Every structure is written in structure tokens, then in C-alpha cells.
Amino acid sequence: MAEAVLALFPDAKFAIGPSIEDGFYYDFDLPRPLTPDDLPVIEARMREIVAADQSFVRRELSREEAQDLFVDQPYKLELLDDLPDGHITVYTQGQFTDLCRGPHVERAGQIGAFRLLRTAGAYWRGDESRQMLQRIYGVAFETEAELQAHLDKLAEAAKRDHRKLGKDLDLFSIHEEVGPGLVCWHPNGAMVRQIIEDFWKEEHHKRGYGIVYTPHIGKLDQWKQSGHWEFYRENLYSPMDVDGQQYLLKPMNCLGHILIYKSRLRSYRELPIRMAELGTVYRYERGGVLYGLTRVRGFTQDDAHIFCRQDQIRDEVIAVVQLAQFMMQTFGFQDYKLVLATRPDKHAGTPEVWEHATAALTAALESLNLDYEEDPGGGAFYGPKIDVKLADAMGRDWQGPTIQVDFNLPQRFDVCYIGDDGGEHLVTMIHRTVLGSMERFFACLVEHYGGSFPIWLSPVQARIVPIADRHIEYALKVEDTLRRSGIRVDVDSRSERMGFKIRDAQMAKVPYMLIVGDKEIESEGASLRLRSGEDIGLCSIDEVQNRVRSAIDSRS
């Protein structure tokens, strides 16, 4: 691709061009901005290069030789400065030579099917104070069939994109006036969220959690004491002045829960104490990484903290993993994997403490007989964690539940219980979320179901479509009956054609449509249609009600 770009732009300057998880890219400094029309032209040139089937020749160069070779390529010269001596290699095909670690295929003719997908702006070395470059993304596969399958998958993903469906289904919006990464939930999206939250609270009550609320701002000093100010500052907002004291928007819910715990003396008999909060937190993310509902600056965690004795850690972690499994199953996720993330470079606490915490997590996973991967260095600064990655209907990974064992905060805040020996002992904290954040989990649900939420989550579960104005009165009566049985139902009383109203309900992904006209009024029923287009036919109102209710109650 770089050789093709050079052929079209002889003054092109080259930055870096790695392979990435889902393809490859290359960053260029070009005399004019690329347009979508440029990509087929570059691709055509690439096909000529592949057809010429030149071999790729690897050479090792000294620093001086490389500096001579790339004298007109300032970005390459800068890259050379970072390469250790003896590790400078270039590859040449035909007239074109590039700095590259390799390896390469032997000949250009071995390159299979490829497609350039899009262009994007990218700062040199990701640094917003440096040159803005033009990035071209592409994919390559061994065969045309594999390439086509991938492009089909991308097209399907675009249809399910939560940012697109968020607009089409009137779920949420993000406004420049409010600020990037800050979400407004519309009635439809808020309805889904409310159902999730109600279900979540009910399940937590069943499992012995107490639900709490804590403030959104608090004095900065406590975040210094916790270590967040030291280890997590790049994600914190600037403090604000309140009566001459510095306050911070809360980035985590932990400290409020600690203070509730510490509000009186706790005995070993009371433990474990489980405190849960749908807690909204604020974290700074760079503007460039914000994305829909998945990377935001304000979000609500389904957070909880379990305060327990060391001998209770294993059983508590097991119970959390089981709760997480139950939740994922209920929301329709069958595939997930567990990752054990261990001590990062920037961390608080001694190696012994880390080892102990990691061992407790491992013991829990092993007693559940669960397979897991390791992510060395991927833990939080205060402790190791188990991350659960969900796979959606498209096979893409989403961050799901997280469970962290923490001996650090109890130490810093002197969080104790009175043991059976009458002495004070430090408690162990388990931080956990089972959905992650409401925002990200909602985005995941939208994309997993392509906007067709399961019935129990659908903002509108049934829509009544009167064929003509004279049927509206009956439609309203049916609406009232269904609503009384707890079904979310509305009537489309607009004076549009029936076909139009049915299509509209399908576009809105309403699970059930009840068509009512003369025939239906006479038999005191409704003609039932599904959003899939399936036509069930004439049913009594009782039948409709039972059918919808049982789908809601079973959360199917």
C-alpha cells in the first residue's frame, strides 16, 4: 500500500504501518487530504504491484546507512533514533524500500485478497501537539471468499451499531452543548435501563446485598488518602473549590461505602457485609478515544463492595462469579471468557499482599472448574481482578463483569472488624460489577440484539394498530386491558395507511402488533403479528395477553 501511495503522491512522507487486530493501517503525510475516491485508485495500483510479483528482500543496515537511505523521510529518521543498533532492517520490493522489522511473505504474488476500508486522521505518535497524518485502514485475507465474509460481517455490524440504532430507536443522545462523553437517556432507552436496574436490585436483595446511595462529589483529601490522586490522576477531573476546600467529582464509589461501613463498630459475626450501588462516576478520557456509549466521561457502574474476613474471600468470589453467570444468561449471553489480571507496574501494596489476593481469586476460579486466561500486569493499582469478556451475537468481545480483591484500601482507611479474639483486624474488600456500566452494557445489548430487545426489555411490548378511525375506540379499550396486566402497550391512532403503520412498528422493533378492524371487533379479538413479519392471525384478547405475559415473565 505504501508503494502504491508513493506512486500516486511522489512527495508522500511515511510514518508507521503496523498490522493490528482487525487488519492493518499506514499513516502518511500527504500534500492533500485523501477522499473516499482515492481508495479504489490506490487499490488498483496495489493490484498491479501484486501482479508484478516482486520478491521482498530483507537487509540489515547500520544506523548511518539507514539515515542516508531515509534522508527525505523525517518520520523514519525519528523512528530510527529509537531503534537499538543491530536491529535496523529494511525490506525492498522492486524500486521501493521501507523500514520494517518484518517478517514478510516472500513475494508480492503471495498476497491474497485485500480491501482498503477507510481513511482517518491520526496524530504522529498519538500526540495531539504533533503533525496530523492521514491513516488508511485495510484488511487482507488469503482468499476472496474470506474477504467477502469479513466485509459482510462489517456491514452487519454497521447495521447493529448502537450509535445508529440509538438514533433510529430514539434511545439516547450526546450533545456538544452538554459536553462530549456525557449521555442523555431518552424515554425509550431509559425504560430499558429502568427494567435492568429493577431486576438488578431485586437479584441483589435476594443475595444479601444492601443498596446504598452516596454523593457525586467529595473532598479531595480522601482521594489522596486512597491513592487515586497518586495512581489515577490522569483520569480525574480538576478539583473544584467549595468554601475554600477542594472537592472532586467521584471517579469510584468505594470511599462512600467504606465510610458507611466505618460508621459504627463491626464484629466478625456481621461479616460479610455486602453494599451495592448504581453509582454514577466521572472519569476523564481523552476526546479522541470517546465512542458512543462505550467510552464516555460519565457513567453509572453497577457497583458493589463486599467487606469480609480473609477466610471468606473464596466463597464470596465464587458467589459473585455465579451471580455474574446468572446475569449474563438472563440477558442472553452464552459465550464469555474469564481473564485473571495481575499486578501492574504502577501499583500500591507489597508483593506478599498481591500474591495472597491473586491466590484467592485463582482458588475461586479453580473450585468452580472454570477455564481462564491470564493477563499479566492488567490488574487495578490496588489489586488483581477477574475480568469477564462477553461475546455478542457477532462474536465480538465486550468488557463484562469485574471482580477485584483489595487489601490496600482497608489498610489506607483502617477498615477493621472486631475478631473473636476481641482484637481489631483489617477487613478485606472485594470490588465488583456484574454488568460493568449501564452505558456500556446497554450498548452491548443494543448491538447483540440489533435493537430487537427481548420482550421483557422492550420499551414498547405491544402496539395496537386500528385499521380506520372508527376502530380507535375499541383499540383504546384493548390498550387499557393489556396495560392493566402490566404490558407496555400503545395505540397508533395516526390517520396513516395500515401498511405504513405496520412497517413503522417493525422499524421500531415492537415485538407484538395487534391489528384491529371490523372483523376483530366483532369477535372481540385482535389479529396478531410479530416484528419478524410472522402473521399469527386472529386471537382473543385473553390469548394475546397470556402469550405476551408469559414471554415477559420467562424473560425469553
Binding mask 242-281 for Zn ion (x = CB under 5 A): ------------x---------------------------
Shortest separation between residue 427's beta carbon and Zn ion, angstroms: 14
Of the residues 283, 347, 440, 471, which is catalytic?
A: 283
| CB within 8 Å of 334: residues ≥ 6 apart | none
State the Cα–Cα distance between residues 217 and 232, nearest whole angstrom: 17
Size of the site for Zn ion (CB under 5 A): 2
385 makes contact with Zn ion (CB under 5 A): no
CB neighbourhood size of 15 (10 A): 22
Helices (H), 136-272: 144-160, 162-168, 187-206, 220-226, 228-231, 254-261
Cα distances from 233 to residues 238, 275, 286, 294, 341, in angstroms, run 9, 26, 13, 21, 21
Shortest separation between residue 408's beta carbon and Zn ion, angstroms: 11
Of the residues 347, 385, 471, 529, which is catalytic?
A: 385
434 makes contact with Zn ion (CB under 5 A): no
> Which CB atom, from 254 or from 502, has the smaller least distance to Zn ion?
254
Q: Scan residues 391-430 and list those touching Zn ion (CB under 5 A).
A: none
State the Cα–Cα distance between residues 271 and 523, nearest whole angstrom: 61
Of the residues 297, 305, 463, 471, which is catalytic?
A: 305
Of the residues 254, 308, 444, 539, which is catalytic?
A: 254
| CB within 8 Å of 206: residues ≥ 6 apart | none
Of the residues 29, 38, 98, 303, which is catalytic?
A: 303
DSSP 348-395: -S-HHHHHHHHHHHHHHHHHTT--EEEETT-SBTTB-EEEEEEE-TTS
> Which CB atom, from 49 or from 434, has the smaller least distance to Zn ion?
434
Q: Scan residues 86-125 and list those touching Zn ion (CB under 5 A).
A: none
Shortest separation between residue 431's beta carbon and Zn ion, angstroms: 3
Of the residues 431, 432, 471, 501, which is catalytic?
A: 431
Cell of 122: 491520526
The residue type of 242 is V
> Which CB atom, from 324 or from 467, has the smaller least distance to Zn ion?
324
Of the residues 73, 93, 222, 301, which is catalytic?
A: 301
Distance, C-alpha 16 to centroid of its chain: 27
On whether the CB atoms of residues 536 and 529 are closer than 8 A, the answer is: yes
> Which CB atom, from 260 or from 446, has the smaller least distance to Zn ion?
260
Shortest separation between residue 429's beta carbon and Zn ion, angstroms: 7
> Which CB atom, from 73 or from 280, has the smaller least distance to Zn ion?
280
Shortest separation between residue 380's beta carbon and Zn ion, angstroms: 9
Q: Contact region for Zn ion (CB under 5 A) — 93-101, 149-157, 175-183, 431-439?
A: 431-439
431 makes contact with Zn ion (CB under 5 A): yes
Shortest separation between residue 256's beta carbon and Zn ion, angstroms: 10
Shortest separation between residue 281's beta carbon and Zn ion, angstroms: 10
The residue type of 197 is E
> Which CB atom, from 226 or from 342, has the smaller least distance to Zn ion?
226
Q: Select from 499, 540, 489, 303 the least CA-distant residue to 404.
A: 303
Q: Select from 265, 266, 236 the least CA-distant residue to 252.
A: 236
Cell of 267: 464484629
Binding mask 135-154 for Zn ion (x = CB under 5 A): --------------------
Phi-psi region of 165 (alpha: psi -120 to 50; beta: other; left: phi over 0): alpha
> Which CB atom, from 260 or from 514, has the smaller least distance to Zn ion?
260
Distance, C-alpha 80 to centroid of its chain: 36
Is residue 301 part of the annotated active site? The answer reads yes
Q: Given the DSSP bridges, would you call strands 535-540 and 113-123 parallel, antiparallel or unpaired? A: unpaired
> Which CB atom, from 133 or from 254, has the smaller least distance to Zn ion?
254
State the Cα–Cα distance between residues 167 and 101, nearest whole angstrom: 44
Shortest separation between residue 199's beta carbon and Zn ion, angstroms: 22
Shortest separation between residue 113's beta carbon and Zn ion, angstroms: 47
Is residue 283 part of the annotated active site? The answer reads yes
State the Cα–Cα distance between residues 255 and 249, nearest whole angstrom: 12
Q: Given the DSSP bridges, would you call strands 397-406 and 385-391 parallel, antiparallel or unpaired? A: antiparallel
Identify the residue whose cell numbers are 477466610: 311
Cell of 387: 475480568
Is residue 431 part of the annotated active site? The answer reads yes
> Which CB atom, from 150 or from 431, has the smaller least distance to Zn ion?
431
Binding site for Zn ion (CB under 5 A): 254, 431
The set of catalytic residues is 254, 283, 301, 303, 305, 385, 431
